[in-house]
Amino acid sequence: MGTVVGTVEDRRDMFEGNAQTRITPFSSTNQIGNPVAYKLVRVSGDGSLVPATDEEILEVNDTDMHIPSDTCQTIGYLATDEENVEVDETDMHIASDACQTIGYLPAEGIPSRLSQIESSEAINSGLLHSDNVQPYTDQVKSRSEYNEEMLQKVEQEERLENVHGSQMPSTPADANIQCSNENNFFEEDQVHHEALLQDECKMNESDMMERCSNAVASPKETALSAAAQKPDFSRVRGEICLDNLPIKALQETFRATFGRDTTVKDKTWLKRRIAMGLINSCDVPTTNLRVKDNKLVGNQEKSNDVTNAIRKEMGDDVRATKMKDAPSSTDHVNGHSNGGNHYYASEDYSSEQRAAKRVRKPTRRYIEELSETDDKQQNDKSVIPSKDQRLSEKSEVRSISVSSGKRVTVTRMVSLAGSEIEVPYVSHVRRSRPRENIMALLGCHSSYLEDKASAAESNLNLSPSQLSSEVVNRDSVEKSASRPVQNEFATSDENNVEHILSEVDQEMEPEHIDSSGNSSDENNIGVPIMQGGALRRKHHRAWTLSEIAKLVEGVSKYGAGKWSEIKKHLFSSHSYRTSVDLKDKWRNLLKTSFAQSPSNSVGSLKKHGSMHIPTQILLRVRELAEKQSQ
DNA sequence: GTTAGGG
DNA sequence: CCCTAAC
């Protein structure tokens, strides 16, 4: 029979001398229909592979034996010898055969590191389970369920695909499954597990990076050499081959992969499905679904920057897909819930709506961040994926930073060269610039000041990159720090402040009545405490009913958008309400009024803590909004 | 300087 | 509320 590919010599520390049995795939060139068979071996204490005894084999045979072949079909991956060598040469403690077991797509260009990470999942998912109790049944079943689940997802998506004829949001990633397996594996010592993982990651970081770059550099070569050796599988080689196939061939490949026909004619969809099948995961990036100029474009749309492109292909897209998919598989139901609608970038809906809006280019801060991290990437391989490149994709792209290793309690998944690892979480302090002189906002009431600047967003959680950017901005910090210190009103003096103001403006009077109850005294709640006066936030003032009424009145009189007019005429007394404030408040009013009334006019299902706005006003808001829109 | 919109 | 591109 074939040869056993790979060994597990370095896994001793994990197995602690436990003897276990596992299924090892091996390549076979003479079984065309069933290319990868599995040989049952036992991993003895010293890591060597011992052929399974007859009893063990029988035990396996008692279980669903169709699974391995299914798996083979689904996975359809055969590593070339070079790849095996490559994997074996690492100190990643990952058995290369596990790598094959989970399967991966060389042509897709997923760096070997990804497969390594997944390999560890494969190990945890049972193939190399350290638990000796029922080593096969559970594992094989979990495999079975896994595959089944994925097939179900595929089918479901296919249905949707057929209905809509466009790319659907992919189903939630399988992260849960993998994670749970991981948890099982280390359930006695979860913390240790995490620490261990991180240690491993750190230890091997440079090594892996090197290897990754190698793999990245020539994904095609890998694929080609693989194809050359195993021409039988050219069909399931991944994107590069799939790209050139006509739809019909893709459908055939789909059938070969999933064992059934499909009527879907969408090439992209087919490719992705096939890829999903090949890596036995739904985490297939929608690499060829890049949104550009409100249209879906193919992956021919590549960035000139090769590194960039690769990074996006490998990391960001994988992650973005996950992030986008994970939170709600019901996005396609809502149609335009967050992050969902870019799939519906159907010309009629999105572009029209978008055309009406101002087009925004990426913010300067974003650009700075990006360039900064691009530089960083050369050094510490961290990546801050771009949000704006995925235009309408609102999915929260997790950013990256290499931790200094202090906090291990909170972690998040980050992408490193396409793989996903957990690193300690560092909060993103984005404020890079202190506020301008606050007096500029206070207009004529120069005596009025907002309360003391206090230390809030301290530097405690800054990541290295953030720290550096912080240093860059020191000069501007100094600018506001040097601002003359003025009298400060204590929080309890809020009403006094308003008295002062009301002396200036008699319009303050009615305001004062209803504001005293629900806002003034609580206004200081949630005011961030900032450091050294450098970073200060405008005093939070809850909008009072009379203010809201004025705003509504102003909108009805001058129209929404004439904020400065409204401010001038109706808010002259409230110096602290800038035109931007009015605009923001109006926006919020619109939101609440539309969110609330259609379903149940009386309902007033408000968020806990937000002020109760009379439905009367909300109705008026809606009325005005509808009038404005016409 | 204002406004729009994302955060 | 903040930030900032667009106006």
Residue A571 has pLDDT above 80, yes or no: yes
In the structure, how many helices (H) and strands (E) does chain A have? 28, 8
C-alpha–C-alpha distance, residues A356 and A132, integer Å: 63
Nucleotides of B under 7 A from a protein CB: 1-7
| C-alpha of A310 from chain center | 18
What does the buried/exposed string (b/e) look like for A209-246 if buried means 16 or more CB atoms within 10 Å of the residue's CB? bebbeebbeebeebbbbbbebbeebebbbbbbbbeebe
Cβ neighbourhood burial of A609 (10 Å; 0-12, 13-18, 19+): exposed
Minimum-distance residue to C4 (CA–C1'): A363
Average pLDDT of span A595-616 = 62
pLDDT in tens, A427-441: 333 333 333 333 333
Half-sphere exposure of A106 (CA within 13 A, CB side): 27
CB A42 within 8 A of CB A49: yes
Name the β-bridge partners of A292: A295
Buried b (16+ CB within 10 A) or exposed e, A521-534: eebeeebeebbebb
Residue nearest to nucleotide C7 (CA to C1'): A358
Decide if A228 contacts A248 (C-beta within 8 A): no
CB-CB contact of A136 with A59 (8 Å): yes
- pLDDT class of A49 with cuts at 50, 70, 90: low
Least reliable range by pLDDT among A47-56, A294-303, A559-568: A294-303
Task: Kindly give, in sequence order, each residue whose CB lies less than 8 Å from that of residue A537, ignoring residues fewer than 6 positions away.
Answer: A435, A456, A527, A528, A530
CA distance A475 to A15: 56
> Alpha helix (H) ranges present in A259-387?
267-279, 306-311, 317-325, 331-334, 352-356, 364-380
Phi-psi sector, A395: left (phi>0), alpha (psi -120 to 50), beta: beta
> In the prediction, which pLDDT does A57 show?
41
Q: How many CA atoms lie within 13 A of A527 on its CB side?
A: 21
Q: Is residue A33 packed enough to be buried (19+ CB in 10 Å), middle (13-18) or exposed (0-12)?
A: exposed
- Chain C positions with an atom below 7 A of a protein C-beta are 1-7
Per-residue model confidence (pLDDT) at position A627? 77
Q: Please report residues contacting nucleic strand B, using a CB cutoff of 7 A.
A: A 356-358, 360, 387, 394, 560-565, 567, 579-580, 583-584, 587
Strand, coil or helix: what is A537?
Answer: coil
Q: From the alpha carbon of A577, which nucleotide's C1' atom is closest?
A: C1
Q: Which residue has its C-alpha nearest to nucleotide B2's C1'?
A: A564
- pLDDT for residue A500: 35
A289 within 8 A of A167, measured Cβ to Cβ: yes
Q: What is the pLDDT of residue A612?
A: 75
A581 in contact with nucleic chain C (CB within 7 A) = yes
pLDDT of residue A50: 54
The full 3-state SS of A215-272, as one line of letters, equals: HHHCHHHHHHHHHHHCHHHHHHCCHHHHHHCCHHHHHHHHHHHHCCCCCCCCHHHHHH
Q: What's the confidence (pLDDT) of residue A622?
A: 82
Which tokens hold the place of A509?
């009077």
A309 CA to C6 C1' in angstroms comes to 29
- In whole angstroms, how large is the CA radius of gyration of chain A? 30
> Residue A587 pLDDT > 70, yes or no?
yes
Rounded, the Å distance between the CA of A365 and C1' of C5 is 11
Q: What is the pLDDT of residue A357?
A: 55
The predicted pLDDT at position A361 comes to 60
Q: Is the pLDDT reported for residue A535 higher than 50?
A: yes
The mean predicted confidence, pLDDT, of chain A is 46
pLDDT (tens digit, 9 = 90+) per residue, A450-483?
A: 333 333 333 333 333 333 333 333 333 333 333 3
Q: How confident is the model at residue A367 (pLDDT cuts 50, 70, 90)?
A: low
Give backbone dihedrals phi and psi of A526, rounded to 5 degrees, phi first.
85, 5
Q: What phi and psi, each to the nearest 5 degrees, are found at residue A51?
A: -55, 145
Question: Is the model's pLDDT at A624 over the cut of 80?
Answer: yes
Q: How far apart are the first and last CA of chain A?
A: 76
CA distance A437 to A459: 22
What φ, ψ does residue A423 adopt, rounded to 5°? -130, 160
Place of tokens 């960001």: A316
Q: How far is CA A193 from CA A9, A119, A425, in A?
A: 20, 16, 17
Query: Which pLDDT value is given to residue A600?
Result: 52
Q: What is the DSSP string of A407-427?
A: --SSEEEEEETTEEEEEE---
Nucleotide with minimal C1' distance from the CA of A538 is C1
Give the distance, in angstroms, between residue A367 CA and nucleotide C2 C1'.
18
Give the pLDDT of residue A356: 52
What phi and psi, each to the nearest 5 degrees, are found at residue A599? -70, -60
Distances (CA, A) of A89 to A83, A84, A96, A388: 10, 8, 10, 39
Nucleotide nearest to A388 (CA to C1'): B6
Give the confidence band of A333 by pLDDT, cuts at 50, 70, 90: very low
Percent pLDDT > 70 in chain A is 14
Instruction: Give which of A283, A353, A359 is closest to A321, Cα–Cα.
Output: A283
The nt closest to A523 (CA vs C1′) is C1
Q: Residue A567, CB, less than 7 Å from strand C?
A: no
Longest dimension (CA), chain A: 97
* A394 CB-contact burial (10 Å; exposed 0-12 / middle 13-18 / buried 19+): middle
Residue A288: exposed, middle, or buried by beta-carbon count in 10 A (0-12, 13-18, 19+)? buried
Q: With bands split at pLDDT 50, 70 and 90, how would you rate the model's confidence at A97?
A: very low
Residue A418 one-letter amino acid: G
* A200-230 pLDDT, tens digit each: 333 333 333 333 333 333 333 333 333 333 3
Q: Is the CB of A432 under 7 A from strand C?
A: yes
Residue A92's pLDDT is: 34
The integer distance in angstroms from the CA atom of A545 to the C1' atom of B5 is 25
Domain architecture of chain A: domains with CATH: 3-233 (no CATH), 286-426 (no CATH), 439-522 (no CATH), 545-629 (1.10.246.220)
| Chain A residues 338-397, Cβ below 7 A from strand C | 358-361, 363-365
Strand C at less than 7 A from CB of A452: no
Across A315-333, average pLDDT: 35
Backbone angles phi, psi at A476, to 5 degrees: -70, -30
Q: Give the pLDDT of residue A402.
A: 35
Q: For the residues A567-592, what does the mean pLDDT come to? A: 86
Instruction: Report phi then psi at A535, rounded to 5.
Output: -110, 110
pLDDT at A511 over 50: no
Is the sign of the CA dihedral A85, A90, A95, A98 positive or negative? negative
- Work out the pLDDT band at A583, boundaries 50, 70, 90: very high
Nearest Cα neighbor of A278 from A233, A211, A344 is A233
Helix, strand, or coil (residue A600): coil
Strand ranges inside A28-148, DSSP E: 36-43, 49-51
Give the closest residue to C6 (Cα–C1′).
Answer: A358
Query: With the CA atoms of A106, A111, A115 and A116 taken in that order, what torsion angle do they form, in degrees rounded to the nearest 10?
Result: 140
